[in-house]
Amino acid sequence: MSDRQQENAVAVGSGRVNPARNGRADGGRVPRIALRDIRKNFGSLQALRGVDLDIYPGECLGLVGDNAAGKSTLTKIISGTYIPDDGTMHLDGEPVRFSGPADARRRNIEMVFQDLSLCDHIDVAGNLFLGREVTRGPFLDRKTMLSEARKMLDALEIRIPRLSSKVAQLSGGQRQAIAIARAASFDPKVLIMDEPTSALAVAEVEAVLSLINRVKATGVSVILITHRLQDLFRVCDRIAVMYEGTMVAERSIAETDLEDLVKLIVGEKDER
Amino acid sequence: MTAYTERSQGSPWADFLSEQAQVLSIAFFFLVCVVFFAMTTDTFMTLGNLLNVIRQAAPILIVAVAMTFVIITGGIDLSVGSQVALVNAVAAIALAAGLPWPVVVVAMLCFGALIGLGQGWFVAYQGIPAFIVTLAGLSMLRGIALYLTQGYSIPIKGVPGFFALGRGELFGIPVPALIAIAVAILGYVVITSTRYGRQVVAVGSNMEAARRVGMPARWAIASVYVVAGVASALAGLLIAARLGSGSSNAAVGFELQVIAAVVLGGTSLMGGRGTIVGTILGTLTIAVIGNGLILMHISPFFTQIVTGAIILIAIWLNTRIFTANFRFGFARGNRP
Ligand SMILES: Nc1ncnc2c1ncn2[C@@H]1O[C@H](COP(=O)(O)OP(=O)(O)O)[C@@H](O)[C@H]1O
Ligand SMILES: [Mg+2]
């Protein structure tokens, strides 16, 4: 990760349609994740019909498309939830096949699910440490977990007054922040977020967007699915548009605007 | 830099109240019952009677603690009464056959665990609703007990060590009550302060989340039925030791008392939320009501009606009035 800065510099303006097919686009820069010709069928339904995609370190990729375009399916393939029927996946240049979500997580791919996967009846610290509780002897080490949780949240400038309050008592934005902080604390290489802002109030959206920027700044590759197109321009470096199970366009953020994106999403294809 | 909007930090006292509303309201209701019976009867507040109340409440409390675990996972175990009866009967048969009583005790606890494991397997690994599995268990286990005893009560003779479990006293406190207190403390520590307890709460709160973070979610669910099985076996042994006999007709309606005690204590049938303190108070409340009504010379048939009505009203108050009051009366500050 030492050359992250340099990579970030190159990343600007790298978005274009049909990147090189060898998984080593952009003058030898190795994508964090390179997908080639990914296909996935659900019965007779072709959910993905050959998708190519590169994601670089420290980059935020926006994934947009109409409902049922295949965005969730694609991210679930990256996160190991679904196994693709065909196609290859490279992680840092190395070919990988995930056997399941646990496998993907071992390879530092984290996903924040739309439903957040928080336990309402457990406190903030407990949720941050869910499934990897710190124990002393047979007992939970609450003190360590509270102080570590405080550090985790501080690192991302998330402010939650009482870490011993139950998650159910928090606002939607705070809950989203906790889910993101938990995923980020696993030291991910890739962090996938499915609709993180769709259910939030305006001020909370702002907070989550700046949180995404801070996560990105730590060198994590972020994949962001959202229907709020204006959000993309706040955090993304590149936007990929899906249509009916294919990747129809990739745009760097500098070379597109809302109108252009809407056209791409609804299928009024431009001349390319 | 955009900062997170915060709720103004309400007083910790108000937070505490709203979190503990359920337990506080059952504690209040319990005190009302105690005061009421203390005033309307002469004998309620005597030491002898109070010891009697806790002696009789002991088996309910033991199983209610385990049932709290089950209900926190979002499950239910309707078969605990039948499990108590089966263990009760089998223990008497084994003791009558001359097996040493410590062996019988250990074997019965293992037997209870095995029954629980069977039911837990169907619930957790086969995905059959707990209500169905344990309803079948309720019928089958009672049936086995009836078949083994042919409906007769089996006397237990000449095992003073065993009888001490049910009738003995230590420091003036009945042994069953001491065992129940130990179980309650153990349950409290496990659910609040161990990784296993955290897993139980997590699977009840959000099964999918527990699975995603790599918790042994299915095992956590199966295990609470094992806990319930062991607790039922313990209760069955204590009842056999107290009565000096084993009967397939023991503990009829026991599961309802246990579930009522747990729910009265504020544990949510939807899973995720529940406290052992609430369960203790719920159990004591039910025991006090049963005892007080008898002391008031009210017909035992009537007792059932009153107990049921009080449970319904208490839970109604609990969910409707107390919770709503705490929620609105002590609302935390809003976002700016
Ligand atoms: N598990 C599944 N079984 C069957 N069909 C599915 C499944 N998951 C997704 N699909 C179908 O695949 C298509 C793409 O879905 P999805 O990836 O969820 O779209 P998006 O997230 O872009 O709205 C949809 O037609 C959807 O109905
Ligand atoms: Mg989707």
Q: Is residue B117 predicted with pLDDT exceeding 60? A: yes
B126 touches chain A (CB under 8 A): no
Summarised one tens digit per residue, pLDDT across range A220-244 is 999 999 988 888 998 999 999 999 8
Q: Do B206 and A131 touch (CB under 8 A)?
A: no
Query: Looking at ligand 1, which residue's alpha carbon is closest to its atom 8?
Result: A73
- Distance (Å, rounded) from C-alpha B26 to C-alpha B322? 10
Q: Whose CA is nearest to atom 3 of ligand 1?
A: A42
Q: Where exactly are the structural domains of chain B?
A: 47-322
Could you give the angle at which helices B217-243 and B175-193 cross, rounded to 10 degrees?
A: 170
Q: Kindly give the number of the ligand 1 atom that is closest to the alpha carbon of A71.
A: 22
Count of alpha carbons within 13 Å of A137, Cβ hemisphere only? 3
Do B193 and A207 make contact, defined as CB atoms within 8 angstroms? no
**B142, B85 contact by CB (below 8 A):** yes
Question: Beta partners for A111?
Answer: A192
CB contact under 8 A, A160 and B335: no
Give the Cα separation of B163 and B126 in Å (integer): 40
In residues, how long is chain A?
A: 272
* Interface contact flag, B273 A174, Cβ < 8 Å: no
Q: CA of A10 to nearest chain B CA: how many angstroms apart? A: 26
Which atom of ligand 1 lies closest to the CA of A225?
Answer: 21
Q: Which ligand is nearest to the CA of A81?
A: 1
pLDDT grade, residue B3 (50/70/90)?
low
Judged by a CB distance cut-off of 8 A, whether residue B47 touches chain A is: no
Which tokens in the block code for residue A27? 């003058």
Domains assigned to chain A: 2-117+187-271 (3.40.50.300)
Contact B34, B288 (CB under 8 A): yes
pLDDT on residue B211: 87
User: Which B residues in the span 275-314 are in contact with A, Cβ-Cβ below 8 Å?
Assistant: none
CA distance A4 to A218: 9
Per-residue pLDDT band for A201 (boundaries 50, 70, 90) equals confident
User: What residues sit around ligand 2, an ion, with C-beta below 5 angstroms?
Assistant: A 72
Helix (H, G, I), strand (E, B) or coil at A61: strand
Helix then strand count (H, E) for chain A reads 10, 12
Residue nearest to atom 9 of ligand 1 (CA): A73
Whether chain B has a CB inside 8 Å of the CB on A136: the answer is no
Extract the runs of DSSP E, i.e. beta strands, from A121-212.
Answer: 135-136, 139-140, 190-194
Which ligand is nearest the CA of A198, by number? 2
Ligand nearest to the CA of A51: 1
Closest CA to B212 of A120, A78, A117, A168: A117
Cα nearest neighbour of A210 on chain B:
B2
**CATH 1.10.3470 holds for B47-322:** yes
A153-184 pLDDT tens trace = 888 888 888 888 888 888 888 888 899 889 88
pLDDT of the residue at B8: 52
Residue A110, chain B, CB below 8 Å: the answer is: no
Task: Please tell me the residue having the least CA distance from ligand 1 atom 7.
Answer: A42
Q: What is the DSSP string of B263-283?
A: HHTT--TTSS---HHHHHHHH
Residues with CB under 6 A from ligand 1: A 42, 45, 47, 65, 67-73
Closest chain B residue to A102, measured at CA:
B214
Residue A268: predicted pLDDT: 64
Position with higher pLDDT, B20 vs A223: A223
Give the pLDDT band of residue B320 (cuts 50, 70, 90): low
- pLDDT score at B9: 53
- Residue B73 and residue B203 in contact, taking contact as beta carbons nearer than 8 Å: yes
pLDDT at B280: 96
Ligand 1 atom having least distance to the Cα of A242: 22
A151 CA: distance to closest CA in chain B (Å): 16
* The pLDDT of residue A259: 86
- Which of the listed ranges A74-78, B109-113, B325-329 does the model predict with the highest average pLDDT? B109-113
3-state SS track over chain B:
CCCCCCCCCCCHHHHHHHHHHHHHHHHHHHHHHHHHHHHHCCCCCCHHHHHHHHHHHHHHHHHHHHHHHHHHCCCCCCCHHHHHHHHHHHHHHHHHCCCCHHHHHHHHHHHHHHHHHHHHHHHHHCCCCHHHHHHHHHHHHHHHHHHHHCCCCEECCCCHHHHHHHHCEECCEEHHHHHHHHHHHHHHHHHHHEHHHHHHHHHHHCHHHHHHCCCCHHHHHHHHHHHHHHHHHHHHHHHHHHHCEECCCCCCCHHHHHHHHHHHCCCCCCCCCCCHHHHHHHHHHHHHHHHHHHHCCCCHHHHHHHHHHHHHHHHHHHHHHHHHHHHHHCCCCCCC
Taking the C-alpha atoms of residue A213 and residue A218, their distance in angstroms, rounded to an integer, is: 9
Q: What does the DSSP 8-state code read for residue B319? A: I
Tell me the sheet residues that pair with A55. Answer: A33
User: φ, ψ for residue A8 (rounded to 5)?
Assistant: -60, -40
Residue among B262, B277, B228, B219 nearest B63 (CA): B228
Instruction: Name the minimum distance, in Å, from the CA of A68 to any CA of chain B.
Output: 23
Q: For A134, name the nearest residue in chain B, comparing CA atoms only.
A: B195
The conformation of residue B331, written as its DSSP 8-state character, comes to P
Residue A100, SS3 per DSSP: coil
Among all residues of chain A, which has the CA nearest to that of B209?
Answer: A117
Give the model's confidence band at A7: pLDDT under 50 very low, under 70 low, under 90 confident, else very high.
Answer: very low
ipTM: 0.82
Mean pLDDT of B247-259: 89
**pLDDT for residue A225:** 93
pLDDT of res. B11: 63
Beta bridge partners of B174: B169
Average pLDDT on A108-118 reads 85
Residue range B254-277: mean pLDDT, rounded: 90
Distance, CA of A183 to CA of A167 (rounded, Å): 16
Q: CA-to-CA distance for B247 and B88, rounded, in angstroms?
A: 6
**pLDDT of A254 strictly over 60:** yes
**Which ligand 1 atom sits closest to the C-alpha of A67?**
23
Distance in Å, CA A67 to ligand 2 centroid: 7
Q: Would the CB atoms of A138 and B194 count as touching at under 8 Å?
A: yes
pLDDT at A39: 92
Nearest-by-Cβ selection for B4 from A117, A118, A159 = A159
Question: Would the pLDDT of B322 be above 90?
Answer: no
